[in-house]
């Protein structure tokens, strides 16, 4: 994720909008995460409460929070237009009272997260602390489908616990401020601890076909695709590369390669390892190797091949011949590259003839307009022995 990525807070809201400012405080003030904008998903009743208590032009607690913590919260964007309410076709839903209402909220949460996770330059921070339990459950389910490595799911806890139910507590005050409980006791708002609890979840986005992600399918379709993908998923063995022996080890099978073929395979394996989490595994053209022009392997990749070649033991003579050929041909020609790939793939085909997932370990060529090359194997299954 780029260093200048935008951080968004998406919060579920019910009739107690305090959870939004509590979460915002925990993220911006305590954790130092530069949230740039807030989006809330709520019922009509929840929206009214948020407008009255957070966004009132004179007394809104969101605006007061920006004044109290200008450096951390002063630039956060949040307005009435950023409170999203589900509709039953004509009118906004006042509350979740039926199965149809629940499904309507599910599709709203799905639509919002589709949009916000579609930009690789964003990190989405989702709060489950507000709204109905149904809404929290749906957000967690949708995050499992669409969440990327940088996207987080949270709940917030307050200490002392009495602060959670106090109508006047929205976030820890910057200076001492006493709030009275119904039994006459008091607590200092400035000393309340807001604990941000990150909720781990299984990320399934990479299992979704690219066409499903691009089409923005319904939740039912996402669930069907994911279940089918998991059911059909064969267990792919780990790929081990052992440079000292120029050896590939795949599910107990060992394949020894000549120096240049091993270095080339190592190069492609490393590209799969370095695929950014924001790029789905099946979006091969976004991380596979594309030759320079139509005739040569990229010069930066040739440098990487040479560096890997020099790391091998006992290959100095072959390295000199390879360097001479590069000088003679003014680079690694595409014709020679394809010859190497063909030799590697033939050895893999023989060794992995009975392996159901053999295709993942071959160096594949994809693309309609100019081929690009790489391993389809998930980079998390690739190990390089030091």
Phi, psi dihedral angles at 174 (to 5 degrees): -70, -20
Local structure of 146: helix, strand or coil: helix
CA-based nearest residue to 190, from 169, 168, 166, 174:
174
Cβ count within 10 A of residue 76: 20
Check residue 371 and give its pLDDT: 85
Contact 150, 5 (CB under 8 A): yes
Local structure of 4: helix, strand or coil: coil
Q: How far is residue 70's CA from residue 76's CA, in Å, rounded to a whole number?
A: 10
Structural domains in the chain, CATH included, are: 6-202 (3.40.50.10770), 237-384 (1.10.10.10)
Check residue 234 and give its pLDDT: 63
Contacts of 384 (CB under 8 A, 6+ apart): 240, 241, 243, 266, 269, 270, 273
In order along its 386 residues, the chain shows pLDDT tens digits of 656 789 999 999 999 999 999 999 999 999 999 999 999 999 999 999 999 999 999 999 999 999 999 999 999 999 999 999 988 877 888 888 888 888 889 999 999 999 999 898 999 999 999 988 989 999 999 999 899 999 999 999 999 998 988 999 999 999 999 999 888 899 999 999 999 999 999 888 877 766 666 667 788 888 887 777 776 656 789 999 999 999 999 988 999 999 999 999 999 999 999 998 778 788 888 899 888 766 678 888 889 889 988 888 776 678 888 888 888 888 888 888 899 999 999 999 999 998 888 999 999 998 876 688 999 999 989 999 87
User: How deeply is 303 buried, as exposed, middle or buried, from its count of CB atoms within 10 A (0-12, 13-18, 19+)?
Assistant: exposed
Q: How far is residue 339's CA from residue 282's CA, in Å, rounded to a whole number?
A: 25
Q: Which residues on adjacent β-strands are paired with residue 187?
A: 179
Local structure of 326: helix, strand or coil: helix
Q: How far is residue 30's CA from residue 11's CA, in Å, rounded to a whole number?
A: 18
Q: How many helices (H) and strands (E) does the chain have?
A: 12, 14
Check residue 170 and give its pLDDT: 97
Which residue do the tokens 């930009």 mark?
119
Contact 326, 307 (CB under 8 A): no
pTM equals: 0.65
DSSP 8-state assignment for residue 172 = -
């Amino acid at each position: 994720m780029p260093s200048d990525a935008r951080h968004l807070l998406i919060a579920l809201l019910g009739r107690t909008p305090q959870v939004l400012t509590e979460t915002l405080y925990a993220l911006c003030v305590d954790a130092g995460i530069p949230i740039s904008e807030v989006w809330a998903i709520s019922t009509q009743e929840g929206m009214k409460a948020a407008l009255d208590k957070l966004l009132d032009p004179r007394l809104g607690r969101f605006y007061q929070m920006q004044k109290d913590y200008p450096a951390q919260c002063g630039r956060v964007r949040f307005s009435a237009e950023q409170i999203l309410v589900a509709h039953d076709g004509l009118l906004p839903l006042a509350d979740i009272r039926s199965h149809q209402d629940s499904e309507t909220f599910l599709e709203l949460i799905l639509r919002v997260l589709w949009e916000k996770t579609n930009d690789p330059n964003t990190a989405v921070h989702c709060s489950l602390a507000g709204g109905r339990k149904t809404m929290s459950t749906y957000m967690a389910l949708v995050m499992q489908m669409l969440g990327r490595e940088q996207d987080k799911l949270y709940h917030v806890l307050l200490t002392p616990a009495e602060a959670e139910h106090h109508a006047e507590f929205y976030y820890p005050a910057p200076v001492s401020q006493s709030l009275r409980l119904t039994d006459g006791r008091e607590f200092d708002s400035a000393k309340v601890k807001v604990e941000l609890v990150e909720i781990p979840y299984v990320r399934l986005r990479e299992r979704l076909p690219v066409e499903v992600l691009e089409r923005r399918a319904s939740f039912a379709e996402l669930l069907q695709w994911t279940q089918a993908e998991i059911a059909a998923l064969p267990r792919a063995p780990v790929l081990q590369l052992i440079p000292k022996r120029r050896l590939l080890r795949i599910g107990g099978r060992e394949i020894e390669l000549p120096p240049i073929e091993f270095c080339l395979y190592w190069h492609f394996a490393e590209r799969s390892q370095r695929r950014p989490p924001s790029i789905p595994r099946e979006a091969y053209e976004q991380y596979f190797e594309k030759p320079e022009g139509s005739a040569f392997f990229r010069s930066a990749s040739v440098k990487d091949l040479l560096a890997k070649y020099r790391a091998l033991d006992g290959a100095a003579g072959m390295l000199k011949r390879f360097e001479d050929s590069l000088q003679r041909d003014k680079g690694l020609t595409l014709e020679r590259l394809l010859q190497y790939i063909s030799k590697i793939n033939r050895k893999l085909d023989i060794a992995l003839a009975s392996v159901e997932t053999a295709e993942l370990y071959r160096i594949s060529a994809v693309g309609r307009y100019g081929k690009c090359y790489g391993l389809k194997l998930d980079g998390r299954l690739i190990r390089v022995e030091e």
